[in-house]
Amino acid sequence: RFFQKRKKNKPPGPTGLPIIGNLHQLGPKPHSSLSSLAKTYGPIMSLRFGSVTVAVVSSPTTAQQILQKNDQSFTDRPIPESVAAQPNVNDTLAWAPADSRWRNRRRICTTQIFTAQRLDLLQHLRHRKVQQLIQHLHKKAEERTSVNIGEVAFATMLNLVSNTVFSEDMVDSEFESAGEFKELVWRIMEDAGKVNVCDYFPVLKRFDLQGVKIHVKVSYLRLHEIFDRMIRKRVEDRKSSRSGGSIKNDFLDVLLDDCEKDEASVFSVQSIKPLILDLFIAGSDTSGSTIEWAMAELLHNPEIMEKARNELIQVIGDKSNQVKESDIPTLPYIQSIVKETLRLHPPVPLLLPYIAGNDVEINGYTIHKGTQVLINVWSIGRNPEFWDDPLLFQPERFLNSNVDFKGRDFEYLPFGGGRRICPGLPLANRMIVLMLASLLHSFEWELPKGVNHEMLEQYGITLKKLTPLFAVPISVV
């Protein structure tokens, strides 16, 4: 009777099979399968994955109910086993419960890295990292060899984050050597993207049937070891700096200042490592895949590429001038290309999952406490009810429109919304526009001969191209 009461008034959804529930309906592209199911069951539907009840939201008004109207009930996230494998997971930003310690960590990241003022101060860093990328591409252009666009953009972003945090590069300037750091972050992304049966059958957790947890743990521990070494070295340097040496004033120094401030500090040497790791993981692949999709769309739509290059030539001039961040406001077409890319290819198509903290009424249905909630922003961004010709890549749609990705327009949520909206949004926006504008201003691009250009997706922790995009840069004269 208790069980039946709990099931009362749930949103509609497809009947599941015994034991596995609806897991078999997810397929290799869950965001797309769930989008198809929503056509039958509506903007909020209920499914069962193993023993976990999941509500899937697929319309702007329903997303608004979750992220705005009832946001106090949807603050926490369920933690997948591949994420729980890391040490001190409750000290992360992305997965920790939204308590006062999480608020403090978020506040310190926002005020010390992501405010307009702090970002302005570190503009030179982004220019330097993008110029390193451009120099690397000039060499490739001379050799007439193709470049893995997603990978070099990913490595550039890793180096930007590592310079923000540690004031040093983690990937060599040629982006080629299998830099250990890059491989470790990459491997974590891969493992975290696997569908893990243990997440849906909590009784199986301790058996780690697919071995995901044990595999990913090795990478986490190694990264913690690297961070540990760097942090200890910095602690020593800070001691000597007090006797006259220099200090770096980067994010690590901010965190260590906080550790030393008082005993009630939210940070310790142990608890800053998961936070730093979160910034690397959340920032690099998302930005890398956005650049990859943008370039893939432009190679697919040469007239749009041409229009973008014309805007750059008009605003920036010829290749002897470099694109700067201060040019961004005068590049509306490039900005629209980035927005259109994030509409069609949101790197986190189902956002990070939420968990209902109590029973909540949405659209007349009850979302019971403990239900996982997925918001299908991929589906919302492709719905003809909210977008004209939604499957066409048309940056123009954003040109004279106020729709933005800051979490207030619920038909367009590539960075999520509400209190857990992506804190890295301002940095990502600046860096992605700058990187894309520089790639287009310095080079013409073509696909390697004989390559079949497809636009298929591969679902993982970020939504990537099924086959990585390789393109040949040609230096403009």
Does residue 106 belong to the site contacting ligand HEM (CB under 6 A)? yes
Q: Could you give the CA distance from residue 432 to residue 294 in angstroms, rounded to a whole number?
A: 10
User: What x-and-dash track marks residues 142-181 binding ligand HEM by CB under 6 A?
Assistant: -------------------x--------------------
Does residue 291 belong to the site contacting ligand HEM (CB under 6 A)? no
Q: Which is nearer to ligand HEM, 21 or 349 (CB)?
A: 349
Does residue 422 belong to the site contacting ligand HEM (CB under 6 A)? yes
Q: What is the 3-state secondary structure (H, E, C) of 163-228?
A: HHHHCCCCCCCCCCCCCHHHHHHHHHHHHHCCCCHHHCCHHHHHHCCCCHHHHHHHHHHHHHHHHH
- Closest C-alpha among 22, 3, 53 to residue 369: 53
Cα 351 to Cα 75, 301, 334, 373, 375, distances in angstroms: 13, 28, 25, 10, 6
Q: Is the dihedral of CA 235, 254, 159, 345 positive or negative?
A: positive
Does residue 290 belong to the site contacting ligand HEM (CB under 6 A)? yes
Q: Which is nearer to ligand HEM, 253 or 292 (CB)?
A: 292
Widest CA span of the chain, in angstroms? 76
* Phi, psi (rounded to 5 degrees) for 47: -130, 165
Q: Which two tokens stand for residue 450?
A: 């004989």
Q: Please list every residue from 259 through 288 that binds ligand HEM, using CB under 6 A.
A: 278-279, 282-283, 286-287
Q: Provide the minimum distance between the beta carbon of 150 and ligand HEM in the complex, in angstroms, as a whole number.
A: 12
Q: Provide the minimum distance between the beta carbon of 459 and ligand HEM in the complex, in angstroms, as a whole number.
A: 15
Q: Could you give the CA distance from residue 134 to residue 466 in angstroms, rounded to a whole number?
A: 25
Question: Looking at 172-180, 211-219, 248-256, 426-434, which segment touches ligand HEM (CB under 6 A)?
Answer: 426-434
Q: Could you give the CA distance from residue 440 to residue 429 in angstroms, rounded to a whole number?
A: 17
Q: Could you give the CA distance from residue 10 to residue 367 in angstroms, rounded to a whole number?
A: 6
Does residue 31 belong to the site contacting ligand HEM (CB under 6 A)? no
422 annotated as ligand-binding: yes
First to last CA, the chain: 76
Axis crossing angle, helix 269-300 with helix 180-192, rounded to the nearest 10: 80
Q: Please list every residue from 336 through 355 that binds ligand HEM, using CB under 6 A.
A: 347-348, 351-352
User: What x-and-dash track marks residues 190-229 binding ligand HEM by CB under 6 A?
Assistant: ----------------------------------------
Chosen residue from 398, 415, 443, 445 binding ligand HEM by CB under 6 A: 415
Q: Could you give the CA distance from residue 211 to residue 205 in angstroms, rounded to a whole number?
A: 11
Q: Which is nearer to ligand HEM, 34 or 141 (CB)?
A: 34
Question: Looking at 223-231, 325-333, 422-430, 463-471, which segment touches ligand HEM (CB under 6 A)?
Answer: 422-430
Number of residues this chain uses to bind ligand HEM (CB under 6 A)? 27
Residues of the shown chain interacting with ligand HEM in the complex, contacts defined by CB under 6 A: 93-94, 106, 161, 278-279, 282-283, 286-287, 290, 347-348, 351-352, 414-417, 420-424, 427-428, 432
- The binding site for heme consists of 422
